[in-house]
Amino acid sequence: MSTGSIGAAVGPLLTGYISARSWSGVFTMLMASVLILIVGLLLSRLVVAEISAKMAASRRPDGSASDLPVSSLEEP
């Protein structure tokens, strides 16, 4: 899981490149990265639910596992 390392390496390089043109671009880049972080946090609950459902389906004795996502298995 090297995404933190990649971000730590590419972030300053990208910041230096963008700051040579304008500082407003740097702040736009920072706002975009915060937006991506928030979206990732909001989607993490769905990812955990999908993984839990797949693991539970693989543990069933009859071996029946649905390929449908968890959101389509839930009843209204």
How far, CA to CA in Å, does 66 sit from each of 46, 47, 69, 76? 17, 16, 8, 19
What pLDDT is stored for residue 70 in this prediction? 58
What pLDDT is stored for residue 57 in this prediction? 80
Give pTM, 2 decimals. Answer: 0.56
Surface-to-core class of residue 49, CB atoms within 10 Å of its CB (0-12 exposed, 13-18 middle, 19+ buried): middle
What pLDDT is stored for residue 35 in this prediction? 93
What pLDDT, in 10s, does the model give residues 10-56?
888 888 889 899 899 999 988 998 999 899 999 999 999 999 888 88
What pLDDT is stored for residue 5 in this prediction? 84
